[in-house]
Structures are given as structure tokens and as C-alpha cells.
Copies of this chain bind each other. A is one copy, B any other.
Amino acid sequence: MAESAEPAADVESSCEEVRGILSRVGEKWAPQVMARLDSGPRRFNELLRLEAPITPRMLTVTLRGLESDGLVTRTVHPTVPPQVEYGLTRAGRELFGIVHTVVNWTDKNLEAVHAARAAYKTTNG
């Protein structure tokens, strides 16, 4: 499915940039948080509960990282008590779509991956 039928930029060209994005969505909690936000905007404590046992610190770190790459928006409503809403940007939704293809790939290749790991462990240490 995901064969590059498009112009397909070279991997080398924007290599470090791609690595940055790959690392970003590869962060421990990034995929879950993006999945959650993909179904609509959420507040901090909502995410905190839904993604438990994530800690406040890691949720902040994750959100800040995604925000700094333009994948997530952070909207502060100056109310009392404070209220902050997070949501995916257009780019963020697009990228999450790609992450989803990885989910599908993993689902499809789960057995093969496990078999490879078992075989590798047997052959080596």
C-alpha cells in the first residue's frame, strides 16, 4: 500500500529533519497522545486521566515537543480556574495518519516480528 507513487523526496536530502520527526512521533507517549487528540481537542487533566499512568511532567514534555514542531496547538482560556485545550493541527492529523499506517503494518507483521525476535535470540544471545 504505502509504496511511494509520488515524487518521493530523497531520504538523504532532508535527512536530519526526517530523523527529528521520526524521533518526535517515536517518543514514548507521543502516539497515544496524538491518537487521543485525533478524536477531538482535550484538556490537560483529561489527557492525564485517559493516558494514565503518564505523569504530569511527561505529558507536558510530550505536548511541548509536539507543539514546538507544529503538530499540536495549545489554547489557553483565561478563566479561573485556568483552562487549556490541546488539539492536532492539520499537519499533525496528516502525520498521525501515517503513524496509523505503521500501526496497520505492525498489526499485519506481528507474527513475523515475533518469529524474527525468537529466531534472533536463539541464534545469538
With both chains docked as a complex, state the minimum distance between the C-beta of A55 and any C-beta of chain B, in angstroms. 17
Q: How large is the interface on A (under 10, 10 to 19, 20 to 34, 35 or more residues)?
A: 35 or more
A3 surroundings in chain B (CB, below 8 A): 97
* Interface mask (A64-103 → B, CB under 8 Å = 1, otherwise 0): 1001111100000000000000000001001101111111
B94 contacts A105, C-beta separation under 8 Å: yes
Is A52 an interface residue, CB under 8 A from the partner?
no
B107 contacts A9, C-beta separation under 8 Å: yes
A22 contacts B15, C-beta separation under 8 Å: no
B100 contacts A2, C-beta separation under 8 Å: yes
Is A25 an interface residue, CB under 8 A from the partner?
yes
With both chains docked as a complex, state the minimum distance between the C-beta of A46 and any C-beta of chain B, in angstroms. 16
